[in-house]
Structure 1
Amino acid sequence: MPLPAEPAQSTLAAELATLRRQRARRRRRRVTAAGAALVAVAGVSWLLLGTGPEPGDHAPMAICAVDSRNLRADVDADGQLDEIRDQDRDGTGSVVFHGDDHRTEVGVGEARGFWQKLRGAPLEAMATRGTFGDFDGDGYLDLALFYSQGDEGDSPRHNMLVHEVRYGPLARDLSSDRTGTVRMGGSAMVFAVRATDTDHDGRAELQVVQSGGDGTALRYTGRQDGAGVTVSEEEAGPDGWEGWSGPELGPLDFGACADRRGGSGTPPRGRAPASTRP
């Protein structure tokens, strides 16, 4: 006796409905995965590109010293004077950006890019040092940035992952679309950095204190050279820390701010204001 046709039709309809539900679930999973991928790409792009905002196009404003630890300059070229602080005078300072109605502080330790941070993550005793000075003489402050590994006992470890100069004006995450290399004679840890302008020619010198092994510190001087800064392999003195703690070496080279509270700068004798230098 033949089987009735209706149950077979019902079974086929159920299978088709099951297939439709499975396809719908797969579509939802694909959409969810694509959305997650877009979020991940957006997050990585945010880390790589920084938080900005990008620098403005205001003409250079005078760079001046509040005291031996603090400068005033328009770091991001928005027409507002910002504060450059380095209380320990060793290159672990920060910039306080002044906007129309807010202040934002960014430390040199935050200046490293995403990949630079990632490369240093597996290594111990990594240290970031940075200093601000007008190395190329265009009137805007530049950032010389180092990221290197500390000594193991008295033995230097040669892992200097970052040794670059970022030319101003700088964005508010201290990034720049114009960078150059700081050419070093060695890759041992950088203990401290500072910008000076001892000859008052409008082009800052880069002072670098670097590990010499066996508990010693060596100081070198670097100057703008082509598309970057070249650090001399000759020591700047018999002892890397000689004269380093005195107020003479550093911000005061740039001339005192007129009111000592961040007003218009008074350039030192022999140095023209930034806006009039060739």
Structure 2
Amino acid sequence: MPPSADPKQPTLADELASLRRQRARRRRRRLTATGAGLVVVAAGSWLLLAIGPEPGDHAPMAICAVDSTSLRADVDADGQLDEIHDPDRNGTGSVVFHSDVLRTTVGVGEARSFWQKLRGVPMRDMATRGTFGDFDGDGYLDLALFYSQEDEGDTPRQNMVVHEVRYGPLARDLSSDRTGTIRMGGSTFVHAVRATDTDHDGRAELQIVQSGGDGTASRHTGRQDGAGVSVSEEKIGWDGWSGWSGPEIGWLDFGACADRQGVS
């Protein structure tokens, strides 16, 4: 008898195998789509992190001191004077940006980049300090920024995540596309920072009060050196940190504003 022309009927095992193959194909398609979506999200996040507010291109305007705790300068080079305040004179101040339509206040504590903030997450007792001065003498205000770990009792901890200078003009998030390293002799906690210009040469000096252990602190001076700032290991020793001692130093070195009034 010739073989039957009827197609072979699938068995239960065949049906189950077919269902498994269909599920595997659907799972692969979902994983591929999810992977592509994650790539798009990651790329978008990277672009958002990489693209920030840009400073203007206005020529440098005069930098002057309203008093020992306030400066006036065009921080973002948009042609309008901004305010810089550090009422405690320790490097925890802020910038008030002015424009035709709004005012924006950005604190030094907000100046760290996303990745710099992320690096500090595993550590407790981290603190940001920053000060403003024209370190390279180009007429724009620069930001010296530190992010370090406070002492544990009288014992210093060697964790300094950020020690950099951002050269002006600065964007409205206090970022810059031109940065340099602040070369330090040690990585202990930075209690306070100030900018001075004691020799009135138009290049600010960086004054740093840093932990010395056993409850002591010492002051170091940094100056523009190549593509960054080098800090002297010479110490002006103090038994403790309770504020700037001796003659008042700081922004008054930059020269007083003619009208001695803020721009608020």
Equivalent in the alignment of 1:31: 33
Equivalent in the alignment of 1:274: none
Aligned counterparts of 1:218 and 1:62: Cα–Cα separation in 2 = 32
- Give TM-score scaled by structure 2 length: 0.85
- Of 109-118 and 16-25, more deviation after overlay is shown by 16-25
Shift of 1:32: 3.7
1:59-78 mapped onto 2 (5 Å cutoff): 59-78=59-78
Does the 8 Å CA contact 2:61/2:139 hold for their aligned counterparts? yes
Equivalent in the alignment of 1:54: 54
Equivalent in the alignment of 1:180: 180
Closer, same or farther in 2 for the Cα pair 1:8/1:109, shift >3 Å? Answer: same
Aligned counterparts of 2:221 and 2:240: Cα–Cα separation in 1 = 11
Aligned counterparts of 2:102 and 2:30: Cα–Cα separation in 1 = 44
Aligned counterparts of 2:21 and 2:98: Cα–Cα separation in 1 = 61
Does the 8 Å CA contact 1:211/1:218 hold for their aligned counterparts? yes
Q: Does 1:91 align with 2:83?
A: no
- Of 203-212 and 243-252, more deviation after overlay is shown by 243-252
Shift of 1:133: 0.2
**RMSD of equivalent CA atoms:** 3.0
Aligned counterparts of 2:247 and 2:77: Cα–Cα separation in 1 = 28
Equivalent in the alignment of 2:105: 105
Aligned counterparts of 1:103 and 1:143: Cα–Cα separation in 2 = 20
1:66 aligned counterpart, secondary structure: strand
Closer, same or farther in 2 for the Cα pair 1:45/1:73, shift >3 Å? Answer: same
1:36 aligned counterpart, secondary structure: helix
Shift of 1:144: 0.6
Aligned counterparts of 2:241 and 2:204: Cα–Cα separation in 1 = 19
Q: Does 1:209 align with 2:241?
A: no
Shift of 1:18: 9.7
Does the 8 Å CA contact 1:219/1:241 hold for their aligned counterparts? no
Equivalent in the alignment of 1:117: 117
Shift of 1:114: 2.1
Equivalent in the alignment of 1:170: 170
Closer, same or farther in 2 for the Cα pair 1:247/1:108, shift >3 Å? Answer: farther
Equivalent in the alignment of 2:226: 226
Shift of 1:206: 0.4
- Give TM-score scaled by structure 1 length: 0.81
Aligned counterparts of 1:45 and 1:246: Cα–Cα separation in 2 = 48
1:250-269 mapped onto 2 (5 Å cutoff): 250-262=250-262
Equivalent in the alignment of 1:42: 44
Q: Does 1:135 align with 2:135?
A: yes
Closer, same or farther in 2 for the Cα pair 1:100/1:245, shift >3 Å? Answer: farther
Aligned counterparts of 1:220 and 1:116: Cα–Cα separation in 2 = 24
Q: Does 1:235 align with 2:235?
A: yes
* Identity percentage of aligned residues: 74
Does the 8 Å CA contact 1:81/1:262 hold for their aligned counterparts? no
Instruction: Give the gaps of 5 or more residues in structure 1.
Output: 264-278
Aligned counterparts of 1:150 and 1:181: Cα–Cα separation in 2 = 21
Closer, same or farther in 2 for the Cα pair 1:3/1:65, shift >3 Å? Answer: farther
Aligned counterparts of 1:240 and 1:195: Cα–Cα separation in 2 = 20
Equivalent in the alignment of 1:271: none
Equivalent in the alignment of 1:270: none
Shift of 1:86: 0.9
Q: How many residues align?
A: 259
Shift of 1:116: 1.7
Instruction: Give the gaps of 5 or more residues in structure 2.
Output: none
Aligned counterparts of 2:40 and 2:97: Cα–Cα separation in 1 = 32
Tell me which amino acid in the other structure corresponds to 1:183: R
Tell me which amino acid in the other structure corresponds to 1:88: D
Tell me which amino acid in the other structure corresponds to 2:38: A
Aligned counterparts of 2:220 and 2:81: Cα–Cα separation in 1 = 30
Closer, same or farther in 2 for the Cα pair 1:8/1:54, shift >3 Å? Answer: same
Q: Structure 1, residues 39-68: CA drift from partner, whole Å, max 9, x if none?
A: 133224423x25x31111110000011221
Does the 8 Å CA contact 2:144/2:163 hold for their aligned counterparts? yes
Which of structure 1's runs of 4+ aligned residues deviate more than 6 A?
15-22
